[in-house]
A = this chain, B = another copy of it.
Amino acid sequence: MEPKAFFVSLFEAAVAAADPEKTIRRFLPKRPKGRTIVIGAGKGSAQMARALEQAWEGPLEGVVVTRYGYGTPCERIEIIEAAHPVPDEAGLSASRRLFDAVKGLTADDLVVALISGGGSALLPAPPEGMALADEIAVNEALLASGAPISAMNTIRKHLSTIKGGRLALAAHPAKVVSLVVSDIPGDNPAYVASGPTVPDAGSRTDALEIVRNYGLRLPEAALRHLETEEAAAPLPGDPRFAGNEVHVIASAAVSLEAAAAEAKRQGIAAVILSDAIEGEAREVAGVHAAIAREVAMRDRPFAKPVLLLSGGETTVTIRGKGGRGGRNSEFLLAFANAIEGVEGIHGFAADTDGIDGSQDNAGAFADFATAARMRAAGIDPKAALARNDAWTAFDAIGDLFVPGPTGTNVNDLRAILVR
């Protein structure tokens, strides 16, 4: 098995698993007796709408909101655009359009909800007494608080007429099938886009406790609403949701699982360390390298041969001037330096959207001899890392990975083979 070809096959498997055109067919609901209404919100929802249109046999209509510039022409589903990450009036109008679309349905009708990351901002729907500005202020307070997403979600759904399953409630008694592209660690569909069609369990009391614990500074109107809210958010066990379905059709985890399955198909055991590793690329690389070395030297915590996979999105703090390369190239250069000379270790890192930063590559390939090859090519790999010039270093030895844009994005794919 040739490591480069192996890594490319993993990347292709990960990208295919994140492509709605390919994955949506596996999750198509049964054609209903009545009408089929499509609704949706999120950065990827227009692309999902087109994929659904192409795959769906039978009549279909609906409306989906995405971010300005993210629209994709559809034939039967109307695509509208609104502001993200700070909501605007177009979003308010989009929320109303989605409610209108599911109004007056019967138990014979089907609603397909296409939900993806960013949908929360695209569907502002402040309750009576709160203005759009209040909803924006709530969101700013949440983002500044450092509260975990579960806590933010609890607050948001109690200050909205659409989030936390309320849109699904409006569609009752129609069956609602939610197809979700997750950008959330853990892939809890109730947290993606604040779950307009998926209730979760937080209560109004929980919400008030979160406000206290995180010292949230909410607008007066928002606080008043939280304290007096009459129409409680629906609960997960609500019988009106009994016939509904929720499927996560793409996510970082789904893509990592696809890469792991491809590795296993080729006879290499694979483990997923995490789908949500964040942090400074070179530091994250150091930890990956330490684990890879432990495997190489001592066959633990996993026995060789093994593929270590991780996802998530690292960051790069620019230190040098004039350096070229994105976070995956930088990760891999730091990794190459850290595993130099440890035979049997091979690494790969790439952005699943096909473009790593500002260059044309998605990532690069590395192994225990990468640093030596760079030196032979006249590049000092440690100095290149110091000036954030990973692209140049990998380009010099012909180890860039340049697949071109993939049209999908489930963050980074990092793969380390130890054999």
* Chain B residue at minimal CB-CB distance from A341: B148
Interface assignment of A186: CB less than 8 Å from any CB of chain B? yes
Tell whether, in the assembled complex, residue B290 and residue A286 are in contact, meaning their CB atoms are under 8 Å apart.
Answer: no
B273 touches A277 (CB 8 A): no
How many chain copies?
Answer: 2
A375 on interface, CB distance cutoff 8 Å: yes
Determine whether the beta carbon of A375 is less than 8 Å from that of B148: no
Contact residues in B for A186 (Cβ distance below 8 Å): 293, 297-298
* Bound: A185/B293 CA distance, A: 9
Are B277 and A287 closer than 8 Å at their CB atoms? Answer: yes
Check A273 against B291 for contact (C-beta < 8 Å).
yes
A342 to B53, CA, bound (A): 39
Within 8 A of B (CB), among A318-351: 337, 340-341
Interface string of A267-299 (1 = CB under 8 A from B): 000011111111110011011101101100110
Given contacts A213-B372, A215-B375, A283-B284, contact A382 B146 (CB under 8 A): yes
CA distance A277 to B279 in the complex (A): 15
**Which residues of the other chain, B, contact A151 by a CB distance below 8 angstroms?**
341
A54 at the interface (CB under 8 A from B): no
Contact between chains at A213 and B376 (CB < 8 Å): yes
**Residues of chain B lying within 8 A (CB to CB) of residue A150:** 341
Q: A274-B287, A287-B287 are in contact. List 13 more A-B contacts (CB 8 A).
A: A146-B337, A186-B297, A213-B375, A214-B375, A274-B290, A274-B294, A275-B294, A278-B286, A279-B283, A284-B286, A290-B312, A301-B301, A301-B302
Chain B residues contacting A302 (CB-CB under 8 Å) are 301
Chain B residues with CB below 8 A from A278, complex form? 286, 290
